[in-house]
């Protein structure tokens, strides 16, 4: 059986745009493909769209064939991802898989998989119909609203969906009762279990791990530290905040929040950038 995973993956060593383009750091789909190739007879392959890349790039990452597909990085949501869908469908057709597995609904992945004319599976993690309800976009026409529309379109046409958490499964069951839902957590590299955690703790040190985005609540950390500074000065003075996941090409929200935290904490704010999984 040949399975194509349409997904995110950090750029491989040797990619012409490595170091120039910052991509999603997650590798759980690669972990899944590795497990499928090692423990089953599944020929798992990855198709990864890279907005802003200069060229397509094919390689193997830890033995898994990967096709990095170059695409423009502007006007994608404004066209309802139609050109992305066509581009990804062509890349998948070259592989001629048995099943197409789309990871995430925040981009063209789900609709592209469904356009391939093969059995399709969608993995749902963070869903925009949930996010936009809790954090409504400021503008009526925005990327977040377009993504919610394309996401709903994909779920209405879907059959089997993997939910990565209990609450996502519950939300999907309410919104799309026709779906056959499977609750399966993310795969992870077993080498992580070899990292010792029984080390001395650093009193007052806090760590935020993730992209510095509004829906991740970094501003709530800043506001909490401001309250602590006013009400518990001695405790505040021991606080050191580490951020893992800040980006060199930062969006406006990230720039503002990092600047606010820097003003609050000074050299007790330590930004580590996007670090390798291990």
In a shared domain, residues 176 and 205: no
Separation CA 14–CA 3 (nearest Å)? 25
CATH of the domain at 103: 3.40.50.2000
CA 142 to the chain's CA centroid: 19
Q: 22-32, pLDDT tens digit by residue?
A: 777 788 999 99
Range of the domain at 242: 196-273
In a shared domain, residues 181 and 213: no
Give pLDDT, residue 190: 84
In a shared domain, residues 238 and 156: no
In a shared domain, residues 148 and 162: yes
The first and second tokens of residue 14, run together, are 């040797």
Give pLDDT, residue 138: 79
Compute the average pLDDT of residues 101-119: 94
Q: 149-165, pLDDT tens digit by residue?
A: 999 999 999 999 999 99
Classify residue 39 by burial, with Cβ atoms within 10 Å: 0-12, 13-18, 19+.
exposed
Biggest alpha carbon–alpha carbon distance for the chain: 63
In a shared domain, residues 169 and 248: no
Sort residue 104 into left (φ over 0), alpha (ψ -120 to 50) or beta.
left
Q: Which of 149, 165, 190 is the last residue of a domain?
A: 190
The closest alpha carbon to 88, from 49, 123, 118, 42, belongs to 49
Give pLDDT, residue 212: 92
Residue with tokens 């026409």: 141
Q: Is residue 162 part of a domain?
A: yes
In a shared domain, residues 186 and 213: no
In a shared domain, residues 32 and 57: yes
Helices (H) and strands (E) in the chain, counts: 9, 11
Q: 201-250, pLDDT tens digit by residue?
A: 999 999 999 889 888 899 999 999 999 999 999 999 999 999 998 887 77
In a shared domain, residues 12 and 141: yes
pTM for this model (two decimals): 0.83
In a shared domain, residues 156 and 115: yes
Give pLDDT, residue 35: 93
Q: 177-202, pLDDT tens digit by residue?
A: 999 999 998 888 888 889 898 889 99
What rounded mean pLDDT belongs to the chain? 92
> In this model, does residue 91 exceed pLDDT 80?
yes
In a shared domain, residues 139 and 230: no
Q: In what order do the strands lie in the sheet with 205-209?
A: 205-209, 240-244, 269-273
In a shared domain, residues 149 and 56: yes
* Number of folded domains that form the chain: 2
Q: Is residue 228 part of a domain?
A: yes
Q: In what order do the strands lie in the sheet with 180-183?
A: 57-61, 64-71, 43-51, 2-6, 99-103, 120-124, 160-163, 180-183
Compute the average pLDDT of residues 3-29: 88
Give pLDDT, residue 206: 96
Q: Which of 190, 212, 237 is the last residue of a domain?
A: 190
Compute the average pLDDT of residues 90-109: 95
In a shared domain, residues 123 and 81: yes
% the chain with pLDDT above 90:
71
Q: Is residue 233 part of a domain?
A: yes
Q: Is residue 278 part of a domain?
A: no
> In this model, does residue 58 exceed pLDDT 90?
yes
Q: Which of 129, 155, 190 is the last residue of a domain?
A: 190
Compute the average pLDDT of residues 76-97: 93
């Amino acid at each position: 059986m040949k399975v194509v995973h349409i997904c995110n993956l950090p750029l491989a060593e040797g990619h012409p745009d490595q170091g120039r383009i910052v991509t999603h750091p997650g590798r759980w789909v690669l972990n899944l493909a590795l497990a499928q190739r090692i423990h089953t007879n599944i020929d798992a392959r990855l198709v990864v769209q890279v907005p802003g890349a200069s060229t397509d790039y094919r390689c193997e990452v830890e033995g898994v064939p990967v096709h990095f597909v170059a695409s423009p990085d502007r006007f994608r949501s404004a066209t309802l991802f139609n050109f992305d869908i066509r581009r990804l469908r062509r890349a998948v057709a070259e592989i001629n898989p048995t099943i197409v597995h789309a990871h995430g609904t925040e981009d063209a992945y789900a609709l592209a998989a469904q356009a391939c004319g093969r059995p399709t599976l969608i993995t749902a993690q963070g869903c925009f119909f949930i996010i936009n309800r809790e954090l409504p976009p400021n503008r009526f026409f925005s990327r977040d609203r377009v993504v919610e529309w394309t996401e709903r379109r994909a779920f209405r046409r879907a059959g089997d969906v993997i939910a990565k958490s209990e609450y996502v499964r519950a939300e999907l069951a309410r919104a799309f009762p026709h779906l056959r839902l499977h609750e399966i957590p993310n795969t992870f590299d077993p080498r992580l279990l070899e990292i010792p955690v029984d080390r001395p703790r650093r009193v007052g040190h806090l760590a935020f791990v993730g992209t510095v985005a509004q829906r991740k609540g970094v501003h709530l950390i800043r506001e909490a530290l401001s309250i602590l500074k006013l009400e518990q000065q001695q405790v505040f003075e021991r606080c050191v905040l580490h951020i893992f996941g800040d980006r060199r090409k930062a969006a406006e929200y990230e720039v503002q929040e990092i600047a606010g935290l820097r003003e609050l904490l000074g050299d007790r704010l330590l930004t580590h950038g996007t670090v390798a999984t291990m």
